[in-house]
Amino acid sequence: MVPLKRRKTVPSDTGSTGTDGGPTRFPQVVLFLLERKMGASRRAFLSKLGRQKGFQVEEVFSETVTHVISENNYGDEVRTWLHSQGGGPGRAAPVLLLDISWYTESMRAGRPVEILDAHKLQEQQTSETEVVLFLVSSYACQRRTTLDNQNSTVTDALSLLAENAELSEEDGRGVAFRRAAAVLKALPATVTDTSQLRGLPCLGEHSLRVIREILENGASSEVDSTKQSERFKALKVLTGIFGVGAKTADRWFREGIHDLHRLRASGQTLNRAQQAGLDHYDDLNQPVSRAEADAIGDIVRNAVVSVSAEARVALTGGFRRGKPAGHDVDFLVTHPEEGREVGLMPKVVSWLESQGFLLYQKITRNSYLESKDGPGRAASNMDRFERCFSIFKLPEGENRGAEEPETENASRTETARRWRAVRVDLVVSPISQFAFAQLGWTGSKLFERELRRWAGHEKAMSLSSHALYDNKQSRYLRAASEEEIFAHLGLEFVPPSERNA
């Protein structure tokens, strides 16, 4: 199908009048001329001609339109456009889709002529076998989603709308957009027409409207306006400060704080985390490379081994899923002997501080008790492990990958410091919960959400980053590996590299 060109929206000042602004001669007929393939100047000329003949010709499509006139378009193309305007099957009164020939004959006759079959739009002769349809499972945890995204233009747009919804604390709408994006990420080929999406799950009307507009016009007006929104741009900047959430950013925005300069001049009282986030804003909003993550991993392992030779350290998060870059680095620490992990965190943090690797750190204690706080309680994406939220001071020599050798011309006066700040989370888990913790901290966030949804809706189980509980049998299901957890859930094992929903 040839993409539909986005029509220009022009306010109408003559839409309900005929010659010289007088009343229309045919009030039961309300016309709209589709600009696609007709062109703006020809459409303007024909619209003016129609009004001079006493026809009501609208500039903007609305519920009052009874006849849509197009030139050189197929019926399915115009119906696709009509659906994007809210004029689909659910419309109170169906709209007639007519060829330009009916309009010109009506102009010659000076009245609406009888509608013949020849005046009706023809259907595109496309065999069903020529349309590539996709099939995917309803749950993201049943799908294999690699980093090879064939529909990034569309998924990036949906993700941006999800982010905007989340910044507005409209989590339900955000999840809907992210589920729609996840479906498209899992497709093995590029979507070229919305007909290929028939029967796919998680694609609501709003998401489909955005997808359709991008496929037809190459862009989404809603996405474009969101990008230009002062509120969105301000909240993006403010939530980019470590320690600042959507609520705080929204409050600051309403107080007139739209950027870092205004925040610094406002005299706002910041907590330790926010002050550190503001101090190191540029570094923390620069992507962390895989080479940098590996360098930090070496430092963390040295710290852990220095306090316990038997303890284990595992890289989690996006880097475990194979991502080449991320916004932070996550590590999971455990000990092969249950209980020996207790007390590790303060010692590891103390070692890192003594070596000058920490610019900021905050430790939270483990508050999870299986007997009291098991996964039978209300589902939550937040676990209760002992963890350290930190900002690392990564020396320059540690963060340069093999592809970035120092050159003779590298200016020593460009910067006085030879390090960069990086966000790092350290999490300590008992060995009995390690498989669940590793699964939960590997992500992606939507993949984990879908795992929990599958467990609850399909298996009557409760899954968290601590444990899996069978509500029917009233017992915990133990697991020493991620493979065992998937088996308990009746799911085919999905390796980390294919969890990029």
Inter-residue long-range contacts of 125-129, CB under 8 Å, 24+ positions, other chains counted? 126/1
Alpha carbon 384 to chain centroid, angstroms: 26
DSSP string, 174-197: HHHHHHHHHHHHT-SS---SGGGG
Residue tagged active-site, from 76, 294, 425, 470: 425
Environment class of 261 (CB within 10 Å of its CB; exposed 0-12, middle 13-18, buried 19+): exposed
Burial letters for 179-215: b for 16+ Cβ neighbours within 10 Å, e otherwise? bbbbbbbbbeeebebbebbeebebbeeebbbbbbbbb
Q: 263 with 248: CB under 8 angstroms?
A: no
Both tokens assigned to 198? 């028939």
Contacts within 8 Å (CB) and 24+ apart, 202-206: 202/138, 202/176, 204/176, 204/180, 206/173, 206/176, 206/177
| Catalytic hit among 328, 373, 383, 470 | 328
Q: Cα separation of 23 and 3, whole Å?
A: 37
| Catalytic (active site) residue 425 | yes
Contact 246, 166 (CB under 8 A): yes
Q: Write out the two tokens for 413.
A: 């006066």
To which residue do tokens 């499972």 refer? 137
Tell me how far apart the alpha carbons of residues 143 and 447 are, in angstroms, rounded to a whole number: 9
Residue of 330, 373, 383, 470 marked catalytic: 330
β-bridge mates for residue 30, sequence order: 56
Q: Name the nearest CA neighbour of 183 among 217, 206, 149.
A: 149
Contact 330, 315 (CB under 8 A): yes
* CA neighbor of 63 nearest in space, from 33, 79, 32, 87: 87
Is 330 annotated as catalytic?
A: yes
Per DSSP (E only), the strands in 386-433 are 386-395, 419-428
CA nearest neighbour of 385 among 478, 465, 477: 465
Alpha-carbon distance of 68 to 81, in angstroms, equals 11
Biggest distance spanned by C-alpha atoms of the chain: 94
d(CA 471, CA 469): 6
Looking up tokens 């039978």, which residue turns up?
Answer: 376
Beta strands in 35-192 (DSSP E): 56-58, 67-70, 96-99
Catalytic residues: 328, 330, 425
